[in-house]
């Protein structure tokens, strides 16, 4: 009989995973159906937040996939520590990471209709593939870099991605707005390098494309186990305030742009979600 301490689960992480899986399994659809039982239920805020926004803004349903990526990332340090305790070599750990990444990519392609053998219209990008790539690269970063280096890498990825997305339009859309689907540099990069069919805007954009996945890899690679819980919380709360101020400033300098006018609340919601996630990461 195995020692109970050996099999001890991190209950906060399991609870968060279970909460996320409820929505992945269809809880949002059930909530929407219940809302429709009431007059004007399909127009209420609860119904509308259970589905994705069309392009800009943020709703509850838009947080389900990022939360799953966060859970996958934050789980790895515990898994890696257990592998080290069991004497698993670094070579074997790398092989496990590569195998899991490739498995998720292949399963995503199969889910998208590989066995229909319609390769001209086959979508290679997938949610599973994006999880595999983001988790695999973040795991390798965690193994090979110290906390300070991981923090720098994460910051460079996130700030660099933000600058590119906000200020560089797609070269094949002259005069295009970089903050629209048609003018987004993200879609252009994926049209150039991502194999298979892209699903939106007549095959010009895919939310699970390779370039769009770049910022996911920074989600948990900056975990720092050398700071105390209080210091971590203060550090992340300061980061939240800084991001909120940057969001407000970014709104003010673009106050003539409807996109930014609509998204001031989204800036704050996103930074608040970041703070909450970091709080969870500190105390689990």
In the predicted model, is pLDDT for residue 4 greater than 50? no
Nearest one of 220, 217, 188 to 204, comparing CA atoms: 188
For the chain, what's the residue count?
284
Name which of 27-31, 179-183, 214-218, 252-256 the model is least confident about: 252-256
pLDDT band with cut points at 50, 70 and 90 for residue 231: low
Q: What pLDDT sits at residue 281? A: 44
pTM for the full model?
0.74
Half-sphere exposure of 254 (CA within 13 A, CB side): 18
| Phi, then psi, of 103 in degrees rounded to 5 | -60, -45
Does residue 28 or residue 217 have the better pLDDT? 28
In the predicted model, is pLDDT for residue 112 greater than 70? yes
Name the token pair of 225.
């186990």
Q: Exposed, middle or buried by CB within 10 Å (0-12, 13-18, 19+), for 222?
A: buried
Nearest one of 74, 20, 75, 70 to 215, comparing CA atoms: 70
- Contact in structure between 138 and 219 (CB atoms under 8 Å): yes
């Amino acid at each position: 009989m195995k020692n109970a301490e050996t099999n001890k689960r991190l209950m906060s992480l399991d609870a968060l995973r279970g909460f996320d899986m409820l929505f992945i399994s269809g809880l949002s659809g059930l909530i929407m159906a219940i809302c429709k039982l009431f007059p004007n239920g399909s127009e209420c805020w609860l119904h509308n937040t259970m589905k994705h926004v069309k392009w800009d803004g943020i709703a509850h349903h838009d947080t389900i996939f990022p939360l799953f990526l966060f859970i996958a990332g934050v789980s790895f340090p515990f898994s890696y520590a257990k592998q080290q305790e069991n004497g698993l070599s670094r070579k074997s750990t790398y092989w496990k990471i590569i195998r899991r990444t490739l498995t998720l990519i292949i399963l995503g392609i199969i889910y998208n209709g590989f066995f229909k053998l319609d390769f001209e219209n086959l979508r290679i990008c997938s949610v599973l593939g994006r999880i595999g790539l983001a988790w695999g690269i973040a795991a390798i970063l965690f193994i090979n870099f110290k906390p300070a280096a991981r923090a720098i890498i994460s910051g460079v990825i996130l700030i660099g991605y933000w600058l590119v997305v906000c200020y560089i339009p797609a070269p094949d859309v002259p005069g295009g707005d970089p903050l629209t689907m048609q003018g987004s540099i993200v879609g252009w990069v994926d049209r150039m390098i991502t194999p298979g069919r892209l699903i939106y805007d007549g095959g010009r954009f895919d939310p699970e494309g390779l370039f769009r996945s770049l910022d996911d890899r920074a989600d948990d690679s900056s975990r720092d186990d050398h700071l105390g819980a209080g210091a971590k919380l203060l550090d992340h709360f300061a980061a939240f305030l800084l991001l909120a101020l940057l969001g407000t400033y970014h709104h003010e300098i673009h106050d003539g742009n409807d996109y930014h006018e609509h998204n001031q609340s989204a800036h704050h919601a996103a930074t608040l979600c970041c703070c909450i996630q970091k709080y969870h990461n500190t105390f689990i």
